[in-house]
Copies of this chain bind each other. A is one copy, B any other.
Amino acid sequence: MNNLHASKSISVDCVIFGFNQGGLEVLLIRDTENENKWRLPNDWLIKNESLDAVAKRVMNKLIGNSSNYVSQVKVFENLDKTNLNQTIIVGYFALINRGEYYMTAEGRKTDASWFKMKDTLELICDHHAIIDFSLNIIKEKTLYSSIIFNLLPEKFTLPELIRVYEAVLNRKLEKANFRKKILHMNVISAINQKQYGTSQRAASLYRFNFENSTEFKLNKEILNFNYQD
């Protein structure tokens, strides 16, 4: 049966999402073969290595850490039609709080940059498809899990939390309704501390209640959003 076994090159491509006040962003590097194009950071699988290990290696190289929410997306095939070798790409996505990470020297060398989701860049192959597919998974998980808290710092304001939800779902939320629901679910707590360093009226800070995070889990109450439009 061995003659049927296919040999392929396996690449792990990572969609690293970060959030800042401007919205949702993705970390891209300049393509080495065509300097006008950008690509997802990637690396090849080495014998006896796990796919998760490759994803962590890719993240470490660029932002010096990988202790975030990292998840396999799916296998993408034949994305690069110009490539004569049949390559299998295993997509991964990660969610990080941008404030906690700095670009490494290696990251700066590869011209790594954060790009807003709405910026239309020329990406190699169908890397847009891997980004879109990842974003859809995150949108879905947002309905019943605490996944997007990984984009926030430990302490955050309610307006920041709403902005994260709006950025990921790509919709405007009814703010009062959202506030009521999320507080009712008891998954965030006010920490009796105000945000500082802002010119506006200082907003109260909240933190995520890890002990109550099962509230988000399947079979429990789920966020049933009301949208403005």
Please give me the residue from chain B that is nearest to A2 by CB atom. Answer: B9
A50 near B: Cβ within 8 Å? yes
Q: What are the 10 closest A-B residue pairs judged by CB atoms, nearest first?
A: A5-B9, A7-B7, A6-B45, A4-B44, A6-B47, A72-B74, A224-B224, A5-B44, A50-B77, A75-B90
Question: CA separation between A74 and B92, bound complex, in Å?
Answer: 11
CB of A143 within 8 A of CB of B9, answer no
| Contact assessment for A10 and B143 in the assembled complex, using a CB-CB cutoff below 8 Å | no
CA of A132 to CA of B227 in the docked complex: distance in angstroms?
34
Q: Are A139 and B218 in contact (CB under 8 A)?
A: yes
The answer to whether residues A75 and B72 also contact, given A6-B9, A49-B6, A143-B143 and a CB cut-off of 8 A, is yes
Chain A residues engaging chain B, CB cutoff 8 angstroms: 1, 4-10, 44-51, 72, 74-75, 77-78, 86, 88, 90, 139-141, 143-144, 169, 171, 218-219, 221-222, 224-225, 227
Whole-angstrom distance between the Cβ of A41 and the nearest chain B Cβ: 15
Q: How far is the CA of A178 from the CA of B4 in the complex (A)?
A: 49
